[in-house]
Structure formats: C-alpha cells, structure tokens
Chains A and B, each alone.
Chain A
Amino acid sequence: MSARTAIAAPVILPLLLSAAQLAAQGHAADHGQDNSGHTMPDHSAHQQQEQAPEPDQPMAGHDGHARMDHSGHAAAPKAGAMPMDHSAHQTGELPSGSPPPAAFEGPLYAADAIFGAATMAQARETNRATHGDMKTGTLMAERLEARIADGHDAFLWDVQGWYGGDIDKFVLKSEGEGAFGGGRGGSGGGVEDAEIQALWGHAIGPWFDLQAGARLDLEPETRSHLVLGVQGLAPYMFHVDAAAFLSDRGDLTARIEGEYDYKLTQRLILQPRAELELAAQDLPERESGSGLTKLETGLRLRYELAREFAPYVGVGYEAKLGETADLARAAGEDPDGLALLLGLRAWF
C-alpha cells in the first residue's frame, strides 16, 4: 500500500466501518448472549434462574447434549406467571433438563436396524439436501438503461447474480457505461467504463453478507482490484451495497450505494437510489482526486409487468465532487449533469 493510501485511508475506513456497523446492528446482541444477563440490573430474575442447580446429568458415552439442556430457561416463564400461560396454571414446576437415560438407549437411527445402515445413510444424505441445504441462484439486471442527457447520450448496465446456499454464495457483479455511437459530443461511442466482480458472499447476520473477491476493470483500462464489502438490507428496508477496492497499483477506493423501493401500488414502484464514490488518493489517469469523487443519484419509477420484468423511467443526477470536480472544471468539462433515464429492471 502506498504512502498516500495510508494517509487518505482514514477518510474511507470510517465510512466502511459505519456501513459494517449498520450491517451488524441486528447482531450486536449475538455477542452479548452469554453475558448480557450479568451486566444489566434488570436481569436479576434471569440470573437466579441461571444459577439454579442444573438437573441434567452428563450421560456416559454421550457428547454433551447441550441442546437438551433447557434448565433454567424453560423454567423461567414460571417466574413471569403470564396470565395465559396454561402450563403455569395446570402444573407446578416441571424439570426441564436432559431426557431420562432410556432416551439414549438403542440405535441412533432405528431404521438402520430394519433397512440397513448403508441404505439409510444414503437416504439421510438426500434428506439433508432437500431439507435445508438447497442451492439456488438468480441473475438480475437491476439497471439496463439509456441515459439521455444534453450532449451526451449514454447507456448503462448494472447486473448482479448469485448462486449458492443460505450462508455462502458465489456472487457475480458487472457494471459499466458508455456513449451511444455518434453522440453529439463527438466521442464516437463505445464502452467507456466496464467492470466485473467475482465475490464470495458469506452471511454475517440475518440481513447482511460479507463479500470478498476480485474486481477486474476492462475499461477505461485493464486493472484488477481486491474487493471487500458488505451487502444487504438495512433498517427501514434500504438495500445497501458498500465495498472497498484495492487496485493492483495500491490505490484504495470505495463505493457505497443504497436504494429503497417505495410501493405506490402493488406494481408501480418508485425507487430512489444514491451512490457515493470515494478515493484515498489522486488517480490522475482517471482524472480523479482524493476524497469524495462522485455522487450519483436517481429516481426511477418502474412498473412490474411481472416481478421479473419491469420497465422504468427516471431522472438521474450525477456530480463529480471535490478535487475531482475541480479537475473536470479545469479540463473544461461540466462536473455535473442531469439525465433522463429509460430502462428495464429484469431478473431470472
């Protein structure tokens, strides 16, 4: 990592961290599970339950049986004496520890004795696959659009797909844009920006995945990056995707995007979207300064003919920020601009 990276990193890292915090919000309690009862005064009742002698006896030759150990917890509602808790009404205290020793006798799998262990092992394998270990996937074009702006008509794609299970997924993302051929700007058209990311996604909480992998830029020049990010659903149903990129030149950049689906009707959906780009250093070859480099916002109104197929119209506002904007101005370019958006959101 270059020296300039190290200097500018503090700008980016807090942003990423706050995104990570957002992601972890729901899980903060996970870590406190074992001790929260001991730090809060309110838990006195709870603590007493915890400290009650545990009736379960370790079973010889059996590994622990933590799952059967409901002592303390299962009995706890008694203390609350909920009005409709019939169990409290009808019986006194019931022990809730391990089952009696007889429950651990005999074979682990009864059917093995009748149909053979090998046959049943195979059937259990199938069972796992069909009761929780299903693999699935999808491919979604979040934005396939034409951007009609004064002097510069462009196209854009933003596609994402994944395949995998509940916890681990292979994620593919591609984004890019270019000018339509023969644009009035005289740029001649063609793809101006194109990237593809191959990521491993790992669930780190109920709503967020950690994503790590590689990004390859094809345009404006070939460049590869390491990627570390989070993606998921933030409180108030905001879809968030935030990632940091470390290029093969040691340049550190980051991107945070968020969007929200506001349902006007069951099929007509207004989607505000914002994307912020940051860089830890100047990137002269991309005419980009350090700090905040770019803001992209959009408001898209889509109609879901089917869930999978929704044409949309919208407006987009893009602005180069900070030094990057200065560089653009110096080069005689407009640092910001409005565009009319026509596009399609589609998935499979």
Chain B
Amino acid sequence: MICKESPSPVVSRRKFLLGSAMAGSAGLAAGGLAVPAWARGESLTHARQGFGEVSGDRIALTIERHHVTVGGHKGHAVAVNGSVPGPLLRLREGQDLRIDVTNRLDEDSSIHWHGLLLPFQFDGVPGVSFPGIKPGETFTYEFPIRQSGTYWWHSHSGLQEQAGHYGPIVIESATPDPRYDRDYVVLLSEFSAMHPHEIARKLKVGEHYFNYQMQTATDGDMPADERLMWGGMRMNPRDISDVTGSTYTFLVNGHGPMDGLEYLFTPGERVRLRVINGSAMTFFNVRIPGVPMTVIAADGMDVAPVEVDEFQIGVAETYDVIVAPPAGSHALVAEAMDRSGMGLASLTSSAGTRAAPPPLREPVTLTMADMGMGAMDGGHGGAMKQDAHGGMNHAGMDHASMGHGAMSRGASASTPAMNHGSTDHGGMDHSMRDTSSLPRDVKVGPGLDMVAPMPMDRMDYPGLGLDTVDYRVLRYTDLRAARANPHRMPTRQLEIHLTGNMERYMWSFDGRKFSAVNDDPIRFAYDERVRVKLVNDTMMAHPIHLHGHFFELVNGAGMMNQPLKHTVVVQPGSTATFDVTANEPGDWAFHCHLLYHMHAGMMQTVTVRPFPAPEDEA
C-alpha cells in the first residue's frame, strides 16, 4: 500500500490520488504486522498490495518473484518494483521515454505497453517484436509518447500476467484537461492462490473445474427441452467464464473486496475514474449504485460523453468515466460477468465509511443468440416468425445437411433469423457445426466444435446479463469518437473466424493455433485500410486485441466518428467489424486477451510491410 508517495492529498484542484492511497490501510497494515511475515514462515519477499507511482523521462522497473496474500490466501506473485499490481506509470504526452526493465526471475519475461503507439521493437511481445528479456538481463525500451489517456502494461511471457505482472499507465494530455477535479485509477484484476500453470492444466483436463454455477436439477430455470437441446450439442449454457470466483478473488488496485479500499472525494467534485480491466480472464460489470457515470474515453481515446448507470468492461479494455457523487459512501462494484464474485471499493466523502455492497446478482445463462442462432431479443430487428421457414420441418431439421445458404446467406429468403421463443428445439441437436459455411481458409478439425449458423453483428449488445436491466448500460453503438477521424474508405475486407473447442480447451483464429501459424502472418500493406470482420464461432465472448494500432469500430457512428479502440469484445456467436489503417510498420501481436485462450493458441501475428516503411510516409 502506497500512501504518501502521491502529492499532498488536499488543495490542488486536480490532484492525483492513487486508488489505494487512503484505503483501510491502517487495518490492513495492522493485520499484516501483528505477526511478522517471517514469523509465519513466509517468504521475506512479500509483495506489497497496491502500487506506487513512477514518472519522468527515465524509469526503472524490476521484475521479481514474490509472494502475495489476499484475504488470507497466499499465492505466487511476479511483482514489479515489489508490488502487485506493479507501479503506475505516469507519463506526459510528448515526452521521450526510456524504461529499463530488469528481469530477476529465473525465466524469460517481458513488458508490453498495452495501447501505446510505438516502434514495434519496443512493443514487448517475445518472439514477435523482440526476443524477450532473459533472466538477469535489462532491456531498455525507448520511445516517444504520442498520445494521452488511460492504458496499462503487462507481461507477455507465459502466464506471468496472472501472477501480478501488470500495472496502470496514465498519460496526461499536452493541453490541460478541465473535465474533472480528481483523478483515480480503478485497476480491476484477479488473485488466485492457485498457480497459473495449474489453472491452465485444470482447464485442459476439463470437468468445468471452476464452474459452480452450472444448471442442475435444482438450479436454473431453463425448460427441460432446451436443456436437452444444449446437451445435444454438447454445450453448456452456463459456460460464461472459464475461471471463476471459485478460485479468484477479484481485486481493485490489488485489494480484495474485504480490504476496504476507499476513494475519497469532496461533494461537488467531478471525479475521473480510469477503469482498467487488467484481469487475465474476467469481464466485469461496473456500477456505482445511485451514481451515474459519464463515459468520456474508451481504450484511452476520447469519446463523446455518454451517461450510463452500468457498463461491462472486457478484459484489457479501459473506460474513463466522470462521476459527481453526492455526499456519502458509495459502493464501486466490479461484478464478474458470471456473477461468481465482485471487486469492491468505496467512493466516499468521509474517510473510514464503507459503503454496503449490493448482493451478487443471479447467474446468467447463454441464449440462442449466443450460439449464433440469430436474434432473440428483437434488438436487432431480425426476429422472424417460424413460418418464414416455409416448408422446413423445424423439429427435425438437420443443419448439417441443410443448405446453409438458405439460413444465413438468405440471398432470396427473407430476414435471416428465427423465432426461438416457442420452437421445439428437440430435433436441432448436433447441427451447430455446419462447416460448409466457413471460408476455405478456416481449418476444420478437432479444434473447432461449433460454427455459428447465423452470426449477427451485436455492437448494440451491452454484454451478457446487462441486456435485461432497466437502466442505462453502455453499448458499443453508444461510442462516438470525440475527434473526427479522417474519412477514408477501406480498400479490402478480411474475415477472421474465432474458433474453439470448449471440451478440449483449444482456442484459435481460423481453426489454427498460433503455434501452427507463426510463420504465416496476417498481412497488411503499409497505409492500407482494411475492414476486418471477426466472426465468433464460439459461445464465449472474446476480447480481441491488436497491438500497436487503434482500429475504428464499425458501430454505425459514421465513418468519421467510429470510436478508436485497441481491444474489441466479440460477443458469443456474433460478429464485430473494425476498420484499421495499417500505418505502423513492423510485426504486431493480434490475440484474444483472455490469458488462457492466448496460451492455448488464440493469437496471430499481423505484419505491416514493407519494413522499414517508405521514408516519405514515415
């Protein structure tokens, strides 16, 4: 816990306080010091919980193995500068930065600066942008800061990120920002006492190891015929999160929900919360009951302000919100998407007053839309009546042998969707893998357990479980770039399928794991503008991250105002499309930011050529 390293906590109009600053640190510290760590037989190198701050033009970071304790559970940690999360990098737009990163682990390490525009060789992905940092070595990153906003950094080696090797980045804009009076980082993540490699093994071995929210005889209200249909497809409608609160403690700035983290404010102040999802596997639903939030930036880039009551944040995304809470103590809730736990802090005007958290909400269940069976909720305008299938015998229909064209391509047929509300699904079993509808370059094999029959664009979907609440939630379609982008039409379209096998825990792009294609990249020409359509042929939401670029979500905002992002959530059984101008020469990682999905192979390299770029353009 870092307290007094930050500037004096009063006076200045725009003071920057670390989230962990005030905290219930007194209580925590007392608990921690009652019996010294060494006396409890613990390692002397116990990582601090919460982070300090580093800034300036020359920064030194040291990666070291530690232990960390959260809520009484001790786990392995890879700490940077002795804390979990690692220190906040506080930078200025326009500065030249030099960071020396020393690896004191007994294995290779790395740091990737998530969302920063930089020369590719400093992007920090071993095997793609640089060789990695060997044990005992120091690698010097050197690049100018070309942007402002909220970002984060993390290891790109093995599973170190899960163990604590991550931290926030805040880049102040070159011009003063009058939109807020107080500035806090809300870094969401997880802690597990289980070693990351053991988590990975348990996922491979299967058995839905971490899922204690399955439908059972006594749990869940899905009718029997629908359960039968899911079973027939060998799919589990409660497969929301691979790793859950059964092993994770959800953290805010490194603090568990019982730690009593406090963010102080004075009534009347506008407080900027820089919400960063630095977790390995968890989507969070973020809300402050009773306090509306105005979203002002997504993935570090300013958007036209949108007021919401709750938003879902995918892994690796960031959202900046402004709140102006009334006097009192308000719960800042980061509920895991599968509702298996929550991260918690208090936003309070009187130190020491903890807000009462709301209870966890009921677990969510996947729907037909998440299978890529088209729209269910009518929100897409695609709901079609059963009889539009004409003579098709729905009950007995076999998608595997049926012409896919009739269903989703529907060139001459009417709107491609079905009314699933009342249909007999009994006969629709094992028809969710019509591979004839896939592009030829998608490899069909054991790693592909499903093909979304009718993947729809669901940019207007707020995220699992938030589609049914009766207040304002953030949707990608709400995001509009605050500053107009240059108007330029893409010249090429590229379709990439997100593929997987839940049972075998295999994940890939186009049916091919990274291990099989790291010599066959996705190729862009320098300055080429490409429309990339991601088709999610799985029942999980995947946060897809492209390094070194900002792409523009094709969300209906109009070409000039498409929001800039570095990570896009592709909803289950759905598509998401972005436009990207490939103007950063070099090799860039492109992957699912669910750590264990990437580890299983859901990654590719994107190359921008020629390299080096033509001089006149660079």
Which residues from chain A sit less than 8 Å from chain B, CB to CB? 25-30, 32-33, 36-37, 40-46, 48-49, 66-70, 73-77, 79-80, 82-87, 89-91, 94-97, 99-111, 113-115, 119-120, 122-134, 136, 138, 166-167, 203-207, 233-237, 262-267, 307, 347
Cross-chain contact B435 with A138 (CB below 8 angstroms):
no
Cross-chain contact A106 with B444 (CB below 8 angstroms):
no
Task: Enumerate chain A residues within 8 angstroms of B232, measured Cβ to Cβ.
Answer: 235-236
Task: Enumerate chain A residues within 8 angstroms of B228, measured Cβ to Cβ.
Answer: 236
Cβ of B353 within 8 Å of any chain A Cβ, yes or no, is no
Cross-chain contact A264 with B492 (CB below 8 angstroms):
no
Contact for B533 among A87, A90, A166, A237, CB less than 8 A: A87
Cβ of B307 within 8 Å of any chain A Cβ, yes or no, is no
Cross-chain contact B601 with A87 (CB below 8 angstroms):
no
- Given contacts A86-B555, A207-B234, 5 further A-B pairs with CB under 8 A are A42-B402, A73-B439, A104-B523, A111-B587, A263-B216
Task: Enumerate chain B residues within 8 angstroms of A41, measured Cβ to Cβ.
Answer: 403
Closest CB of chain A to B461's CB: distance in Å? 10
Contact for A128 among B381, B514, B585, CB less than 8 A: B514
Cross-chain contact B131 with A123 (CB below 8 angstroms):
yes
- Distance of A102 Cα from B380 Cα, bound (Å): 39
Nearest first, the 6 A-B pairs at minimum CB distance are A42-B403, A132-B601, A132-B513, A45-B411, A127-B127, A132-B515
Cross-chain contact A126 with B506 (CB below 8 angstroms):
no
- Distance of A26 Cα from B444 Cα, bound (Å): 11
Task: Enumerate chain A residues within 8 angstroms of B405, measured Cβ to Cβ.
Answer: 37, 40, 42-46
Known contacts A70-B439, A110-B587, A132-B601; is-contact A43 B610 (Cβ 8 Å): no
Cross-chain contact A96 with B403 (CB below 8 angstroms):
no
With both beta carbons as reference points, the residue of chain B lying nearest to A267 in the complex is identified as B212
Cross-chain contact A265 with B493 (CB below 8 angstroms):
no
Cβ of B129 within 8 Å of any chain A Cβ, yes or no, is yes
Cross-chain contact B501 with A206 (CB below 8 angstroms):
yes
With both beta carbons as reference points, the residue of chain B lying nearest to A40 in the complex is identified as B403
Task: Enumerate chain A residues within 8 angstroms of B445, measured Cβ to Cβ.
Answer: 30, 203
Cross-chain contact A74 with B129 (CB below 8 angstroms):
no
Which residues from chain B sit less than 8 Å from chain A, CB to CB? 108, 120-121, 126-132, 157-158, 200-202, 204-205, 207, 209, 212-219, 228, 231-234, 380-382, 400-406, 408-412, 415-416, 429-430, 433-436, 438-441, 444-449, 456-460, 489-495, 501, 503-504, 506, 508, 510, 513-520, 523-526, 528, 530-531, 533, 554-556, 558-559, 575, 577, 585-587, 598-601, 603, 607-612
Known contacts A42-B403, A86-B457, A86-B556; is-contact A265 B219 (Cβ 8 Å): yes
Contact for A264 among B216, B400, B404, B603, CB less than 8 A: B216
Cross-chain contact B459 with A84 (CB below 8 angstroms):
yes
What secondary structure prevails in chain B residues at the interface with A? loop
Contact for B515 among A26, A29, A128, CB less than 8 A: A128
With both beta carbons as reference points, the residue of chain A lying nearest to B613 in the complex is identified as A106
Contact for B503 among A43, A85, A207, CB less than 8 A: A207
Task: Enumerate chain A residues within 8 angstroms of B603, measured Cβ to Cβ.
Answer: 131-132
Cross-chain contact B609 with A74 (CB below 8 angstroms):
no
Selected A-B contacts with CB under 8 Å, 6 pairs = A42-B405, A48-B411, A80-B409, A131-B600, A136-B204, A235-B232
Known contacts A103-B525, A106-B611, A206-B504; is-contact A134 B204 (Cβ 8 Å): yes
Cross-chain contact A74 with B611 (CB below 8 angstroms):
no
Task: Enumerate chain A residues within 8 angstroms of B120, measured Cβ to Cβ.
Answer: 110-111
- Distance of A86 Cα from B612 Cα, bound (Å): 34
Contact for A84 among B458, B493, B611, B612, CB less than 8 A: B458
- Distance of A35 Cα from B485 Cα, bound (Å): 44
Task: Enumerate chain B residues within 8 angstroms of A25, measured Cβ to Cβ.
Answer: 430
With both beta carbons as reference points, the residue of chain A lying nearest to B416 in the complex is identified as A80
- Distance of A307 Cα from B559 Cα, bound (Å): 51
Task: Enumerate chain B residues within 8 angstroms of A28, measured Cβ to Cβ.
Answer: 400
Task: Enumerate chain B residues within 8 angstroms of A103, measured Cβ to Cβ.
Answer: 523-525, 528, 607-609
Task: Enumerate chain B residues within 8 angstroms of A130, measured Cβ to Cβ.
Answer: 157-158, 599
- Distance of A204 Cα from B506 Cα, bound (Å): 14
- Distance of A80 Cα from B405 Cα, bound (Å): 9
